[in-house]
Amino acid sequence: MDKYKIILFDLDGTLSDPKVGITKSVEYALQKMQIQESNIDKLECFIGPPLQVSFAEYYNFDEENTQKAIYFYRERFKAMGMFENELYSNIPLLLKSLKDLNFTLVVATSKPTVFSEQILIHFNIDQYFDLVVGSNLDGTRTAKTEIIQYILDMYNGHKLDDFIMIGDKKHDIIGANNTGIDSIGVTYGYGSYEELSHSNPTYIVKSVDQLKDILIGSQVK
């Protein structure tokens, strides 16, 4: 299948597994806010959505406390958390294969652009991406719909049919649906099959190899 030309990748839970860095940075922020969270696995819900949404939703923080918590989170995340992270198996090979076939690759993430770029460089996969679009450090452009629309506007010479969004959470699929592009939900990240299927993606896959088959078909194995 070669109908797509521009492929948008979510970062956390799609290209890399950031669990250790994110959950430990959330734990650190909560401790600074005088909250002890004994079960760090409970903090997996922070992987994917914007921090503003998660602190408000899961800990009922008001705007002031949410901003304080984000400040503390970034204090640890900038120092070490962003590198407590690993690429999913076969991601570099997939990216190289797509690039060799002249696909345009873009990162579309709710993580701040500046951190996302550093993570791509750390893993030596920045070379494969033409554009990295994340949120701004001031808390603007965090919604996935807004991020995808920004990318579509950057490539406004293309038809919507040329684009596909790949992500592991409902926010990725909803953003794609809201902007009128196809999507692939991946279940190897942090979203369940149920969460993804209820959001109506174009495809659902359970592995990087299945992802490759949809994007490239039989051209590369």
Q: By the 8 A CB rule, do 43 and 26 touch?
A: yes
Distance CA(160)–CA(4), nearest Å, equals 9
User: Of 2, 10, 62, 172, which is the active-site residue?
Assistant: 10
Q: By the 8 A CB rule, do 39 and 33 touch?
A: no
Told to judge if 10 belongs to the known catalytic residues of this protein, a careful annotator would answer yes
Distance CA(96)–CA(82), nearest Å, equals 23
Q: By the 8 A CB rule, do 7 and 151 touch?
A: no
Side chain identity at residue 155, one-letter code: Y
Q: Which residue has the tokens 């984000």?
A: 70
Catalytic residue list: 10
